[in-house]
Chains A and B, each alone.
Chain A
């Protein structure tokens, strides 16, 4: 008898990749067109702004090759717009792959870009930005213009980051987009799992599942561990309101609500896709640089 093979199973970690275009804007009328391309360790975003207004973007997974990822994100953002790279006045690259964006005019760190993008997305009152990225976390302080005044990054470990959450979604067979909601469906908050290492946390979670814990309880324990970890990072740098979260994990209500509870303050409600902060900041820096050049 031939061994039966399992059908290709679902990739629970896979989040939705998409692009978007502002139907109310005509880029041909814009004076300044700039792009920001954020090639992160997990996701890449290309944002196109017309005179400082969001015109189009694409949000997708980063491949093994940074230049290709940057190019693909940019092409997807420009899709069906009639725009080509030649129409863009200035492009700023940011993220881990910032120096590998082939068509960028300048590279700026994602720390500066998240502060600037956070300022655009949440308004000038934001003073503390927590960027929860794919493979690292940053606690950033900024002024009313979105200029960094201090920052702190986590050490080299994926716990408390998007990659860790992907591992858990896969382990428990829960779509990454549903993890947050599900983790809140517990009558009582369980003890958090180990917060120092994703692999240790996963081992611990496997044990908890064997002990009969339901999935939501295990997810609650992981979301809570993640919240603990980033709160300690935030507190090392101090939290000054208003407070906002950027990056993919900002979409996870299970983590966000636990961070808010631990800090005792609410995060500002996002009006944009939180994964775009870095690329938006980069595009805005591009605009400032173009205008500076014209002066």
Chain B
């Protein structure tokens, strides 16, 4: 499992080395609605742009302080030149904050290729499928023009196969977490999914495929404790996960775009490849920017909570993340009504470990029902 953490922590070295090794192009993407199938079909390596969780002072002139810490942290990486090896950047429409990070990056650190993909918001409309299909066609064309190579149906099939294999493998790992004593911690699962967003999926898949059996036979060297779920906005806060799990609990499932939302559903084959890809992104577990008027996330989250047998849920959001902020009261109410206690936390670039520790500890004391009375 160490490998996944190493990949995550050395993501820049990995990408630079990949470029050298393959001579290929690397593109940074800001949102998981970007269809990686098309990028893999084009032989381009997509890497997700994430922050570094360090205090920074470079974004203030470009983006509001009350935009979410995640998008500011991402932009800081660009302004500091940490991603200077990227040949391109791209985003699919999700929220305005991250779009601002993208446009500001584009302005101040222009790359050879930049693409804004207007992913529709109203994914609950049937018209979203043909809309996204035609946007994907335009995206494919732009990528072809950039790389100078035509993307054939066979290429798309290969791209779909790479992505679907990754999704299948991650689902298999998550299945193992249903066990009474999950063979991996929430922190390890986080490293696993995050590294998959940064490493060539073919390499990641091959490694994961080979490790899956070992993982399945692994005996955890710690008590599972309370089974928790964590859900909310983008979350790559490994320091928080480590702190919480050090209190004798285990995260067994999540609903994050850095977690299960990223890989949950697959592309179902259709003759029209672009339509098949479009359908996958329209039908995936929604980001709250797109989960309207019906809140489809509610039953999905509860299903995860029940199937993974969780005793409580940590509901988090990046500070100032309006879409999540709007959903959270409904989610908490729904979970509580269905017997899942929740704890709400607001994340920032750096997490105040001491202040969060007491909240998590008190939440666990509540769940533990220890006989102290």
Residues in A lying within 8 Å of B, measured CB to CB? 96, 108-112, 116, 136, 145-151, 153, 155-156, 285, 288-289, 292
Report the bound CA distance from A126 to B31 in whole Å.
48
Contact B354 A96 (CB under 8 A): yes
Contact A146 B362 (CB under 8 A): no
Size band of the B side of the interface?
10 to 19
Please classify the interface of chain A as helix (H, G, I), strand (E, B), loop, or mixed, using the class held by over half of its residues. mixed
Contact A109 B358 (CB under 8 A): yes
Contact A110 B358 (CB under 8 A): yes
Q: Using CB atoms, name the residue of chain A closest to B363.
A: A151
Contact A153 B373 (CB under 8 A): no
Contact B373 A145 (CB under 8 A): yes
B136 CB, nearest partner CB in chain A, Å = 42
Contact B346 A155 (CB under 8 A): yes
Report the bound CA distance from A288 to B352 in whole Å.
32
Q: Using CB atoms, name the residue of chain B closest to A288.
A: B372
Residues in B lying within 8 Å of A, measured CB to CB? 341, 346, 352, 354-355, 358-359, 361-362, 365-366, 371-373
Report the bound CA distance from A155 to B354 in whole Å.
12
Contact B362 A151 (CB under 8 A): yes
- From B359, B365, B371, B372, A153 is in contact (CB under 8 Å) with B359
Additional pairs, 7, CB under 8 Å, beyond known A96-B354, A108-B372, A116-B372: A112-B362, A148-B362, A150-B366, A151-B366, A153-B359, A288-B372, A288-B373
- From A108, A145, A288, A289, B365 is in contact (CB under 8 Å) with A108
Residue contacts A-B, CB under 8 angstroms, 9 given: A96-B354, A108-B365, A108-B372, A109-B362, A109-B365, A147-B373, A153-B359, A156-B352, A289-B372
Report the bound CA distance from A292 to B370 in whole Å.
11
Contacts of B365 in A (CB 8 A): 108-109, 111-112, 148
A281 CB, nearest partner CB in chain B, Å = 10
Contacts of B341 in A (CB 8 A): 150
Contacts of A108 in B (CB 8 A): 365, 372
Contact A156 B355 (CB under 8 A): yes
Report the bound CA distance from A156 to B354 in whole Å.
11
Contacts of B362 in A (CB 8 A): 109, 111-112, 148, 151
- From B352, B354, B359, B372, A285 is in contact (CB under 8 Å) with B372
Contacts of A146 in B (CB 8 A): 373
A49 CB, nearest partner CB in chain B, Å = 14
Q: Using CB atoms, name the residue of chain B closest to A92.
A: B372
